[in-house]
Amino acid sequence: MAPSAPQPVLLTATDLWKSFQMGDQKVQVLRGVNLRVLRGQWLAILGASGSGKSTLLHLLGGLDTPSAGTIRFDSQELAALRGGRLDRYRNRHIGFVFQFYHLLPELNVLENVLISTMIGRPAWGWPAARSEARRQATALLDRLGLSHRLHHKPAKLSGGERQRVAIARALINQPDVLLADEPTGNLDEGTGQQILEVIRDFHRSGQTVVMVTHDRAIASAADARLTLHAGQLESSLEDSSAKPQDASNR
């Protein structure tokens, strides 16, 4: 098999530090993290609870700001994005999947997926885009095996179904990166494997995925694995930017 062309770097974290103030104590969560995520890569970040995995994911997704260090998306430094531009970054380029799904209980499955698209468009532009957005959402939910659940509220769904809706919501805007925070952490093993299959399916279609987990078995599904320990990534920067086809060998 001929070696494939090197993939462009999508996300770069350089010397990333993050601390939190807990009362009068300062808790250092990340201590100089360096990371590169290639386009099309599935990267798993392993770490015990409290190791800072979610914090790293929030920083990469523009939900939080580092105490020190820089994050670049393509060539754009996130720290330079302010207000609306950072919101647009999260809406267009990032898709979040959470351990506890975090679906909005008042909305049905279709609306939970469509809300990402709605957020990205002004109210006056929505009527024109509505039917196309619905078509895409329906197709996505169909691909995830949820076409019979479109008008059901999250409370009526199983854990696996909820997580699939959350994945659909994260992917509806065709983001550059899917950031998955313990996506199987709240599911039984069988259902967890189904969710991994879903992620694998999208990854095969070219979706870049950064997944944090504490479970080595789950992490083994990824192309590349890094371990976050005591606020530092144990693998080197070069390791973390391994080509997707090399990841399975690690």
CB nearer to another protein: give 95 or 244: 95
What are the tokens at 161?
A: 């179904």
Helices (H), the chain: 53-60, 84-93, 109-119, 126-143, 159-171, 189-204, 216-219, 237-240, 244-247
Run of H or E residues at 211:
strand 208-213
- Dist CA 101 CA 167 (whole Å): 9
Piece of the chain touching another protein by CB under 8 A; list 24-32, 83-91, 200-208, 215-223: 83-91
CB of 12 to another protein, least distance (A): 21
CB of 133 to another protein, least distance (A): 10
Name beta bridge partners: 149: none
Cα angle for residues 112, 114, 115 (degrees, 5° grid): 70
Under DSSP, the state recorded for 187 is S
β-pairing, 224-229 with 42-46?
parallel
CB nearer to another protein: give 48 or 126: 126
Q: Is 84 in the site for another protein (CB under 8 A)?
A: yes
User: Mutual orientation of helices 109-119 and 126-143 as an angle, nearest 10°?
Assistant: 130
CB of 215 to another protein, least distance (A): 20
Site for another protein in 121-160 (CB under 8 A): 121, 123, 126
CB nearer to another protein: give 212 or 247: 212
Q: Is 19 in the site for another protein (CB under 8 A)?
A: no
Q: Is 96 in the site for another protein (CB under 8 A)?
A: yes
CB of 153 to another protein, least distance (A): 10
> Applying CB under 8 A, which residues contact another protein?
55, 58, 61, 63-64, 83-84, 87-92, 96, 98, 102, 104-107, 111, 115-116, 118-121, 123, 126, 169
